[in-house]
């Protein structure tokens, strides 16, 4: 809803940061950066991270910014092992092409099937 009302991302996600910013300072020690090199990845990460912020989490399970930090770390793994390794960008078409079979096959090849 906020992004529909402010498509340029000119709304706050914290006292110090706007949605459109390249860095979100959530607390003194909790900073989220959007520095991905994959086309569209920063927009995808920004949308996911916004909904994990306790203030905006629609499901009610995110109660602290620690959850946001962990999600940011997990997103970095997805960016590396799903998008970069498979030479995908973050367009809707290429995201739709990712399925459990492709992920499992890729992770087995990389020797990280235990994830």
109: confidence class by pLDDT, cuts 50, 70, 90: confident
Backbone conformation region of residue 40, classed left if phi is above 0, alpha if psi is from -120 to 50, else beta:
left
CA distance 37 to 9: 20
Structural domain including 40 reads: 2-90
Tokens representing residue 52 in the block: 């994990």
Residue 99 within a domain: no
pLDDT confidence band for 112 (50 / 70 / 90): low
Q: What is the pLDDT of residues 2-52, one digit of tens each?
A: 888 888 999 999 999 999 999 999 988 889 999 999 999 999 999 999 988
Helices 41-52 + 65-78 axis angle, to 10: 150
Residues forming beta bridges with residue 33, ordered by sequence position: 23
In a domain, 74, yes or no: yes
Over residues 47-105, the pLDDT tens digits come to 999 988 888 887 777 777 778 888 888 899 889 888 998 889 999 999 998 888 877 87
Sign of the dihedral defined by the CA atoms of residues 72, 75, 77, 83, in that order: negative
Residue 96 in any domain: the answer is no
Q: What's the pTM value of the predicted model, to 2 decimals?
A: 0.83
């Amino acid at each position: 809803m906020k992004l529909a009302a402010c498509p340029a991302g000119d709304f706050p996600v914290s006292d110090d940061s706007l949605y459109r910013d390249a860095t979100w300072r959530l607390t003194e020690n909790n900073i989220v950066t959007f520095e991905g090199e994959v086309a569209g990845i920063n927009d995808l990460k920004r949308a996911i991270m916004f909904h994990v912020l306790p203030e905006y989490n629609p499901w009610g399970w995110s109660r602290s910014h620690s959850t946001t930090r962990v999600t940011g770390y997990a997103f970095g793994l997805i960016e590396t092992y799903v998008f970069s390794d498979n030479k995908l960008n973050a367009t809707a078409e290429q995201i739709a092409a990712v399925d459990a079979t492709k992920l499992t096959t890729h992770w087995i090849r990389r020797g990280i099937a235990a994830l």
